[in-house]
Amino acid sequence: VFMQNKITELIGIFKKANASDKAKAIEVFSKLDVANNQRYKDELR
């Protein structure tokens, strides 16, 4: 439930991160929120 409520905020924060941090965020978020896996990949690449 947390991830569903914070997805837009988290993506906004990590969009400004360097490539290494984005990759780590995608990995962690994808494990925590499988339903939005593709969204994380699309928006943080």
- How far apart, in whole angstroms, are the C-alpha atoms of residue 17 and residue 1? 24
This prediction's pTM: 0.81
Q: Is the dihedral of CA 24, 9, 39, 2 positive or negative?
A: positive
pLDDT at 42: 96
Number of domain units in the chain = 1
For residue 30, give both structure tokens. 């994808």
Contact 14, 44 (CB under 8 A): yes
pLDDT at 40: 94
DSSP state of 17: S
pLDDT at 3: 80
Taking only the tens of pLDDT, the chain with its 45 residues reads 778 789 899 999 999 999 999 999 999 999 999 999 999 999 998
Residue range of the domain that includes 25 = 2-43
